[in-house]
Chain A
Amino acid sequence: MTSALDQIFVHTKRWLLSWVAGAPDWVIQITSSLINIVALLAVFLTLFALMSVLERKILARMQNRYGPNRVGPFGLFQPVADGIKMLIKEDIVPARADKVVHFLAPVILAAVAILTLGVIPYGRNMAPVAINGGILFFFAVGSATELAVFMAGWASNNKFSMLGAMRAIAQMFSYELPLIIAVLPVVMAVGSLVPDTIITAQGEYTLGVVPRWFVFTPWGAAAFILFFVSGLVESNRTPFDVPEGESEIVAGHMTEYSGFKYATFFMAEYLGMFAVSGLAVTLFLGGWHAPVRVLEFVPSYVWFFLKLSALLFVYIWLRATLPRMRVDQMMNVAWKFMLPMAFTCVIATAVWHYAGRGLRGWLWSLFVIVVVYSLMSILLDTRRKFAPRVYRFAE
């Protein structure tokens, strides 16, 4: 009974595929892919709609307001109204814009976000695409985001758009390094780039109680924080929403977009956020495994989406709490603090491995991280060095 509920989607897919059982091999392959794609889009577009209204509700709650409460019960049909509004808005393309590139940019951005969602296992036997280097695929495809953002900024032929795109690329490039290097410890510890294998490696329980998720090791916790912060930057969320800072450059690379194209940008941003959080869940939070052994009867996908929503809640929480960072502060943190810390995590993982992966390894890797962290916090201390800011190129 338990496993039937757990595998219900896998069985449904098998049942759907049995309709084309006699067909040639490529028909079955294409049908199988199509089922996966439709399921993925249905789930994540629903989640996007839900997220857009929940974000506004939670933000409102944290800022002592009501938030959307007019459309439907508790304002739950707000995304429907928003969607209709976006669809019937006029699509304005600037006269001097590069029409083709201007059109392609949001399409590529959304496509990339959906592709990266494809490699994450959402439950037991529920990875839409199983390829040998799943983690590598995630980052390889994800790196095309920068190009799409650049295309949007350049094709709009607007100085705010261009500035926004430049800022976006600068910050995405800088934070892609800590993002990827923070993944390395997990890949090293498991010895595999396949998301399914990484999740299986986190399936056991220490002493039968504490799950063996990587976030519960010192290197895993440090890498998780680095990964989460870099993921926040990659999805252009507050406090790192410099590329689209409304008070400075209108809406950055999205300034010249209206109607459904703007909605596509918005959607791509949220899908990218889901993808990065999903990967964080996969790598550090044990994927679809239950946190305690007694709760393993709950279907695996429920656990995955619970963890995902917990991370998304933190995203919203941070947005309600923190002001926007300055560009130079962001770059300093990326290159002077996050990158060395990410490398430290790699070394701490090696220490953990060679000290026997037990309590001794746990303590030794904690020691390495604490020593490097305190050294860097002494070296990077700027509290006594505040001076009037000097503008080098804008005088």
Chain B
Amino acid sequence: MNSIVFIIISVFTLAGALAAATLPNLMHAALCLVLALLGLASFFFLLGAEFVGLALVFIYIGAVAVLIVFTILLTRRDSKEHYGINWSGVLIALAVFAGLTWAVLKTPSLSVVPPQIRALTVKQIGQVLMTGYVWPLQCVGLLLTAALIGALVLVMEERR
């Protein structure tokens, strides 16, 4: 049952990602990226990590995707124009893929049977965030606040 669902979601996600990379119309590509992200979120649901999946949907589809779409809309008009293949990009992508494959194959846990882990509840995550990881959390909060204030300063009207 689980493996069937896994295959369906994988095909879905990969198709979305492939379409996002190849479609000529940038807006369509962005919408397909949303599909791929939705697929990733459903992987987390399949694994029982509801919180991570929901956070992924919340942040990436609710905020980042809208941001990407807005950026495309506000910056360029020549979405129909074709560009040649950027060979350095291909090289970097291949290198990253090779590195990841090597790292995955070297991982000893591939041959080990995974231990039964009980799914984390939101409460547990909250408790860990508020005790052990309180400093990183505060740092992230400070960074985000600084970003918010920076954005406000950028668009503030100058006093004349």
Q: CB within 8 Å of B: which residues of A?
A: 26, 98, 101, 131-133, 136-137, 139-141, 143-144, 146-147, 150-151, 154, 169, 173, 191-193, 392
Q: CB within 8 Å of A: which residues of B?
A: 1, 27-28, 31, 34, 50-51, 54-55, 57-58, 61-63, 65-66, 69-70, 73, 121-123, 157
Q: Kindly list 11 other residue pairs between chains A and B, CB separation below 8 angstroms, not including A98-B28, A139-B58.
A: A98-B27, A101-B28, A131-B50, A136-B51, A140-B55, A140-B57, A140-B58, A143-B58, A150-B66, A151-B31, A191-B123
What B residues does A141 contact at CB under 8 A?
A: 57
Query: Could you tell me the dominant secondary structure of chain A's interface residues?
Result: helix
Q: Which of B28, B34, B50, B66 contacts A133 (CB 8 A)?
A: B50
Q: Taking the nearest CB of chain A, how far is it from the CB of B70, in angstroms?
A: 8
Contact present for A26 and B1 (CB under 8 Å): yes
Q: Can you report 20 residue pairs joining A to B where beta carbons are below 8 Å apart?
A: A26-B1, A101-B27, A101-B31, A131-B50, A132-B51, A133-B50, A133-B54, A136-B55, A136-B122, A139-B62, A140-B57, A140-B61, A144-B57, A147-B31, A147-B61, A147-B62, A147-B65, A147-B66, A150-B69, A154-B27
Q: Taking the nearest CB of chain B, how far is it from the CB of A311, in angstroms?
A: 24
Q: Which of A139, A169, A192 contacts B66 (CB 8 A)?
A: A169
What A residues does B58 contact at CB under 8 A?
A: 136, 139-140, 143
Contact present for B63 and A143 (CB under 8 Å): yes
Considering only CB atoms, which chain A residue lies closest to B56 in the complex? A140
Q: Taking the nearest CB of chain B, how far is it from the CB of A272, in angstroms?
A: 15
**Bound state CA distance, A193 and B157, in angstroms?**
40
What A residues does B123 contact at CB under 8 A?
A: 191-192
What A residues does B157 contact at CB under 8 A?
A: 392
**Bound state CA distance, A322 and B86, in angstroms?**
56
Contact present for A143 and B61 (CB under 8 Å): yes
Q: Taking the nearest CB of chain A, how far is it from the CB of B95, in angstroms?
A: 33
**Bound state CA distance, A133 and B54, in angstroms?**
8
Considering only CB atoms, which chain B residue lies closest to A133 in the complex? B122
**Bound state CA distance, A133 and B122, in angstroms?**
7
**Bound state CA distance, A85 and B92, in angstroms?**
57
Considering only CB atoms, which chain B residue lies closest to A191 in the complex? B123
What A residues does B63 contact at CB under 8 A?
A: 143
